[in-house]
Chains A and B, each alone.
Chain A
Amino acid sequence: MGSSTLLLLLAAPLAGTLLLPLLPATVASVRVRGIAALFGALQLLVGLLCWQTPPADLQLSWLPKLGLRLDLGLDGLSLPLVLLTALITSLSILSAAADQSRPRLFFSLMLATNLGVVGGLLARNALLFVLAFELVLIPITLLVAVWGGEKRAGAAVRFLLYSAVSGLVLLAAVLAFAWFNPAGPLFAFEDLRQAQFSPTAQRWILALLLLSFGLKLPVFPLHGWQPFTYGQTPTPVVMLLAGSVSKLGAYGLLRFGVGFLPETWAAWSPWIAAAGSISAVYGALNAIAQNDIRRLMAFSSLGHMGLLVLGLSAATPLSLQGAVAQMLAHGIIVALLFACVGLIERKTGTTAIPELSGLMNPLRGLPFTMGMLLLAMMAAAGIPGLAGFPAELLVFEGSWTIFPRITLVSLIASGFTAVYAVRLFNRVGFGRLDNERAEWTSTCWSERAPAMALAVLVIAAGLWPTALTGWSETESTGLALRTQPFLSRSAAQPLSLAAAASPLIAVTLPSASELRTS
């Protein structure tokens, strides 16, 4: 397939971003929504074609004096995230209310966000990545500021400040890459991979990268914007923000940190793992204490990002594969969670846990929505058979041999997920539905459809984990900084973790003698 296919991945959201505002004001909101979703679907279709026939990299000169080139490419790390972004963009657009206010601008900004994320994922040039990274900031800020909740102004400002710092620090890191590169100011990924940075330079650059991507993910203690912003952001936007945009931070850590600064990453990895573990515990404990579903989801997301960081820090083939799987699994799970929360909010008018109860009531509650929420919560808690399980299992398996104590703490944090999931469901799903409040209508199939599609994916990925892990086998093995002790014997062979004969995940557990020798 020609390299121009990669341009199509960008052209679809760009066209949508530019064309939607030009639609006549008389076009009904629901139609604008449908047209916007089509652009996302087109991008998804092109992405699937790229999966079937990988396109060649595209290299075009853009601003040569600045070293900015339009270098685009897809590999096992970026392709699944592009597909995830295209999918979540389409479904989040469809999750918007049929009577979405100012739809042309709203959906245009949604597609602009997509453009930024996909641009970052396709970028093979650090400056281009920064450009795309910064591009995301503008539409999200506007989406929060215009369509957010009661405190949208504060949320938008806070998001803007944190994201601006994140973007500036990333720019500084990329410039530092050029500054400290003995081969000269080069920004192409291939050049950066081969560059020999001094240990001091590596430390400075990695510190900047950790700050930038840590803000984006986010991880503790850089998460100050997240609960507030997630609480005020419109449902479709928060689906995209939590499901896809935040993964840009994880992708950046993997691509830049693990990929370009391996020695320093390996040296700092215990501290990074500790930060991930603290995030996991802090996020889970805070989630237990929340009285608002959106804030609960925000802290839950923080916890799961902590697990992701743990997998990245261990940097074994298994843990990196787990980290990529966690990006995908968390993407669809958190999108499903927010899709359900959005439906609850749309019908009941609130996400305050104390005000909600008995929503499982089959006649006047929201039983279908609650069923899907339960599924998503189970997946987030790592119940086998659902998407969260293989991802978390791989992270823990891969990290255990490197950081046993930290992994153990993270495992406990993962257990807390079940606590807040059960607590939430017990309070919101069960109990008595207040007759005086239950004036809402039931959800219709068109409202349920996006969440249903995500629910199907959550189940499918749980039963067929290769869907999560298969993409990144080659790349994650190549990026690994450490060997997996009990897999080292077969390290020469391609890691074939999920491509086992069984449709369910099959991890080769070490024998007792192998553990002793390791």
Chain B
Amino acid sequence: MTPPTATAPEPVTAPLIPPSTHRYADVIHRLEAGGSMLPDTPENLMQIIGIYKAYAVPMDFYWRDLLYIAEQVFLDPLPAFKYFISQEYLDLPNSYAGDQSKLRIWRGGEKAHPELLEFMANGEAGKMPKLLHHLWHDRINMEFAEACMEAMLWHQDMGGRFYDYLDSDAYRANADRAIKAYFRGNPLMLGLYRLFPEMFMEQVKKMSYYANLGLFWEVMAPVFFEMSDIYDEGGFSGVPAAMDFLVNGIFAVAGRPIYHHVYIKGECFEIIPKSEGFTWLYEAALPYVEAVFYRTAPFRGTKSYNAQAYQVPSDQADFHYGILYADVFPVGSAGIPPTLLMQDMLHFLPPYLVDLYKTHKRGEEDQLIQLGITFQRSMYNVTSAVIQALRDALLYPLDDTDPEHLMANRRFFEAQMDRFLRPEARLSQIQTQDYR
């Protein structure tokens, strides 16, 4: 097994607390030293930044189309063309990129990424009618984004107030207004609404999660583009630096409002108004990481589970089908189907990643798997950023000199690592470069 070429820096002074005896003690010590769960090696840095860039391009489409569906398609009973985003939403300026943005942190432009536009025009197969591109799956696979959204909807109670709000009277009143406005002049649908109000309400809740995820990814896309640009300029010293950039980004936009507006015949219906005070970190980012990285759901890939044989936990909080546990290797394994995202990212790999994949395993033949495993590495780094951000928000600085505070941090890190004790977790695999 090839060990990582770099490890956490050795502490210069005697440690204030004894070493951890956890199975992932090495990882915990690295986190306590300000590192990431992913070992700090030049190749890991190259892999994660490269894949962030490849992820950001389809993500630039995901967030636009998610908002398009939430705000425009809304309750269309036959949404066959929901992935055929309108030009208005394709041109929608990113709120956190470009000169017009309210909070200009990152340097990218506000328009859709040029590589995305190029791919949407030609795909892999070349120029042909948009419908054929769609049917041939020669397109951005929005099904992946919807699977993420459904995981967030389905797991519901993951902290924050967002889901509770969806059962509030205020939300129901707003949704009711929007439903009636949307189906005005359509007695059939209005009659159905009267007969089955909860079914319609559930659909609106789903639309609210479309908006939630779209607003979340609207922020993440420029973050990843920026990281890619910085790396290209030689700006990151290592994996921890990349993680710190993510932590800083999380805090920078933590207060971004999460809302759900619907536009019906030109009129805006505020189903979740900005004034409710839902924010990006607590109502979108943390539930997203919990639902998508950790939990998601079984029964999505080629692997099947027998729930009656207790192969599926009875408690949703124990679900472990996310990317941190996913078996990327057999294509279409459990959890969020990484295959669709892998296929999307394949189109936008930076040249240095393509070259890297050529030198390992089967080279170009199996780069879909190689990039899937790279994605898994990168998501461990993102999760590390979230863990560090939570530690920063809830506990004590890493350079605190109070042993009790350090022990509190230790307990927090160990509790986080406990989630990776189950055999499906890929944390131990990503500690070595042999896992490809």
Q: A interface vs B, CB < 8 Å?
A: 358, 361-364, 432-433, 435-436, 438-439, 441-442
Comparing B29-37, B151-159, B324-332, B411-419, the segment that makes contact with chain A is: B324-332
Q: Given that A363-B368, A364-B369 are contacting pairs, would A432 and B327 also be in contact in the complex, using a CB cutoff of 8 Å?
A: yes
| Interface residues in B349-363 (C-beta closer than 8 Å to A) | 361-362
* CB of B377, distance to nearest CB on chain A (Å): 14
Chain A: CB-nearest residue to B363:
A441
The 7 listed contacts between A and B (C-beta, < 8 Å) are A361-B330, A363-B366, A432-B303, A435-B329, A438-B329, A438-B361, A439-B361
Instruction: Give chain A nearest CB distance to B242 CB in angstroms.
Output: 25
The answer to whether A364 and B362 have CB atoms under 8 Å apart is yes
Say yes or no: B330 contacts A433, CB within 8 Å. Answer: yes
Interface digits, B320-340 against A, CB 8 Å rule (1 contact, 0 not)? 000000010111000000000
Most chain B CB within a 10 A radius of its CB, from A362, A364, A436, A442: A364
Residues of B within 8 A of A (CB): 303, 327, 329-331, 361-362, 365-366, 368-369, 434-436
B22 to chain A, nearest CB (A): 24
Contact of A364 among B303, B327, B329 (CB under 8 A): B329
Nearest Cβ in chain A — how far from B291, in angstroms? 25
A residues less than 8 Å from B331 (CB atoms): 361-363
Q: Which residue of A lies closest to B369 (CB)?
A: A363
Q: How far is the CB of A357 from chain B (nearest CB, A)?
A: 10
Alpha-carbon distance between A438 and B361 when the two chains are bound, in angstroms: 8
**Residue among B303, B327, B361, B434 having the largest count of chain A Cβ atoms under 10 Å:** B361
User: How many angstroms from the CA of A441 to the CA of B329 in the assembled complex?
Assistant: 16
Contacts of A439 in B (CB 8 A): 361
- Kindly state the separation between the CA atoms of A442 and B365 in the bound complex, as whole angstroms: 9
Q: Is the CB of A363 within 8 A of B365?
A: yes
The 9 tightest CB contacts between A and B, nearest first, are A363-B366, A435-B329, A363-B369, A364-B366, A432-B330, A363-B368, A361-B330, A358-B330, A442-B362
- Which residue of chain A lies nearest to B372 when distances are taken between CB atoms in the complex? A363
Please name all residues of chain B whose beta carbon is closer than 8 Å to the beta carbon of A432 when the two chains form the complex: 303, 327, 329-330
B20 to chain A, nearest CB (A): 27
Cα–Cα distance between A425 and B44 once the two chains are bound (Å): 37
Cα–Cα distance between A363 and B365 once the two chains are bound (Å) = 7
**Residues of B contacting A363 with CB < 8 Å?**
331, 362, 365-366, 368-369
Q: Which residues of A contact B361 (CB under 8 A)?
A: 364, 438-439
Q: With the chains together, A363 CA to B368 CA distance in Å?
A: 8
Which partner residue on chain B sits nearest A435 by CB separation? B329
Q: How far is the CA of A439 from the CA of B330 in the complex (A)?
A: 14
Chain A residue with Cβ nearest B327: A432
Q: Which residues of A contact B327 (CB under 8 A)?
A: 432
Say how far A430's CB is from chain B's closest CB, in angstroms: 9
B436 contact set on A, CB distance < 8 A: 435
CA distance A81 to B128 in the complex (A): 54
Residues of A within 8 A of B435 (CB): 435
**Distance in Å from the Cβ of A42 to the closest Cβ of chain B?**
37
Q: Assess A441 versus B330: contact at CB under 8 Å? Given A363-B368, A363-B369, A435-B435.
A: no
Taken together as a complex, chains A and B put the C-alpha atoms of A364 and B365 apart, in Å, by 8
Give CA–CA (A363, B342) in the complex, Å: 13
Other than the given A358-B330, A441-B362, 6 more pairs (CB < 8 A) read A361-B330, A361-B331, A363-B368, A364-B362, A435-B329, A436-B434
Docked CA distance A245–B249 (Å): 73
- By a CB distance below 8 angstroms, the chain B residues around A435 are 329, 435-436
* Contact in complex: A433, B365 (CB < 8 Å): no
Residue of B nearest to A434 (CB): B329
CB neighbours of B369 from chain A (8 A): 363-364
A244 to chain B, nearest CB (A): 35
B357 CB to nearest chain A CB (Å): 12
Q: How far is the CB of A370 from chain B (nearest CB, A)?
A: 14
Q: Cα distance A439–B361 when bound, in Å?
A: 6
| Contact status of A433 and B329, CB under 8 A, knowing A363-B368, A363-B369, A364-B369 | yes
Kindly state the separation between the CA atoms of A438 and B370 in the bound complex, as whole angstroms.
13
**In whole angstroms, what is the CA distance A436 to B436 when docked?**
9
Query: With the chains together, A432 CA to B369 CA distance in Å?
Result: 14
Complex interface: chain A residues within 8 A of B303 (CB): 432
* Nearest opposing residue in chain A for B436, CB measure: A435
In the complex, what's the smallest C-beta–C-beta distance from A72 to chain B, in angstroms? 51
B250 nearest CB across to chain A (Å): 32
Residue numbers in B under 8 Å from A362 (CB-CB): 331
When distances are taken between beta carbons in the complex, the residues of chain B under 8 Å from A433 are: 329-330
Q: Please, which residues of chain A bring their CB within 8 A of the CB of B362?
A: 363-364, 441-442
User: In the assembled complex, which residues on chain A have CB atoms less than 8 Å from the CB atom of B330?
Assistant: 358, 361, 432-433
What is the CA–CA distance of A442 and B362 in the complex, to the nearest angstrom? 7
* Nearest CB in chain B to that of A362: its residue: B331
- Looking at the assembled complex, report how far the CB atom of A347 sits from the nearest CB atom of chain B, in whole angstroms: 11
